[in-house]
Amino acid sequence: MVILTSGSLAQRNQQSPVEDPNSPNQSGPEKATGRVRWYSLVSLIVIAACLAEFLTGSTAILVAVANPLGFATLLGMYGGGALLIREVALRWRKRWGAVLLLGGAYAVGEEGFAAKTMVDPIGTDVGNELYNHWMGVNWVPLSALTLFHAAFSIAVPLVLVELLFPATKGRRLVGNVGLGITAMLYGLTIYLLSFGNPYTIPLPVTIFLAAYAFAFIVIAYLVPRSFLRAKTDLPDRRERNFILLGIFFMGGFFLISGGLGSGGDFLAHLLPWPVTSALFIPLAGLTAWYLVRHAGRSENDAVKIAFALGMIIVFVPIDITLELGGDTGVLLFTSLIFGVLLWLRELRAHPQNSSSAVRI
């Protein structure tokens, strides 16, 4: 693959209307061209399909290899969802705040209607449904998975592709026809996956889930461009702080959610479920507050890499357990993600080395 880079980090950050709301171009973002567009497009779909599923053990790597049709559904769901969110945010001329909100809507598609983790009281691999199932909804998974998919399943793949292919930053990867096809494939994938769980969602719960997802979409459209925009021009904290922030965020997520697995419901023995669900609000709020206050609006690639590294670190003990339990290759995959992030960090530390095409 070929990564095309521009002259300086500041110039790259100014290319995108998502990063620069004051861009005078009112005709909308341009469409990326050439091979780098296709590299970016394919990379986004594949990274989104693999990242969360493999690192969490939700899909074993060898199972994905042995079942191409099943892996295709991951491409359609995760990849299609990430691509839709990226392209819609660009067309709306929004930034990361709207991306995260749209990621909340994505979570409902996957965990509400496809896997039904947010609603099925007994038939999923989440071990604490009966602890928090009320009025047809599993409230802790609803809160937890909304946050997880928005921040990790969607935002992290978008960041990685932005870092890998800065030439496509702020540029559309598909036209209107491609966007429509992506939306149809994503919807079809969600529909087909819904048959994997025979649980029938009651009509009132279906209406609630649809309204919940629609609210995220409406808010994403209405929020100002300044929503969650960094306050400072440049980062004003060391990278180590953002690594620790990533560990705090992902570690806090797994602590509060109890790992969303049987036997991992530590807080379920201590707190009522409304309190557990509410704990995700300060977790997300404190993380967002620190990023807004200290991450900077430009020359912040190292910050993004450090924050992602911190989140990935939390998966290391999880993936060691998965590897020992038979999920062969998950540690190799985790090492690959670490390697890509560290390689990107080295490029950003020595930008003169990336002033021309870089082959990977």
At 11 the pLDDT is 40
Round the CA-based radius of gyration of the chain to a whole number and report it: 20
Mean pLDDT value across residues 315-336: 95
Band of pLDDT at residue 28, cut at 50, 70 and 90: confident
At 14 the pLDDT is 39
Name the residue with tokens 């620190």. 290
Residue 126 pLDDT exceeds 50: yes
At 20 the pLDDT is 44
Band of pLDDT at residue 69, cut at 50, 70 and 90: very high
- The better pLDDT of the pair 348, 158 is held by 158
Domains of the chain, residue spans: 2-22+34-359
At 27 the pLDDT is 56
The residue type at 222:
L
Q: Is 138 helix (H, G, I), strand (E, B) or coil?
A: strand
**pLDDT tens-digit map of 177-205:** 999 999 999 999 999 999 999 999 999 99
Task: Locate 161 and state its tokens.
Answer: 């592709």
Question: For residues 300 and 169, is the Cβ–Cβ distance under 8 A?
Answer: no
Mean pLDDT value across residues 164-178: 94
At 244 the pLDDT is 98
At 360 the pLDDT is 35
Task: Locate 78 and state its tokens.
Answer: 């995760």
How confident is the prediction for the chain on average, in pLDDT? Answer: 87
Residue 312 pLDDT exceeds 90: yes
Mean pLDDT value across residues 141-162: 96
Band of pLDDT at residue 273, cut at 50, 70 and 90: confident
Residue 102 pLDDT exceeds 50: yes
The DSSP H or E segment spanning 11 is helix 9-13
Q: What is the DSSP letter of 112?
A: I
At 9 the pLDDT is 36
The fraction of the chain above a pLDDT of 70, given in percent, is 85
Residue 221 pLDDT exceeds 50: yes
CA 78 vs CA 47, 137, 220, 249: distances in Å: 9, 23, 19, 22
**pLDDT tens-digit map of 47-60:** 999 999 999 999 99
Q: Is the whole model's pTM more than 0.85, yes or no? A: yes
CA atoms of 67 and 151, how far apart (whole Å): 28
Mean pLDDT value across residues 147-171: 95
Mean pLDDT value across residues 26-42: 87
At 260 the pLDDT is 57
Task: Locate 222 and state its tokens.
Answer: 């209405």
At 166 the pLDDT is 93
Band of pLDDT at residue 358, cut at 50, 70 and 90: very low
Residue 352 pLDDT exceeds 70: no
Mean pLDDT value across residues 105-112: 97
Question: For residues 56 and 129, is the Cβ–Cβ distance under 8 A?
Answer: no
Residue 266 pLDDT exceeds 70: no
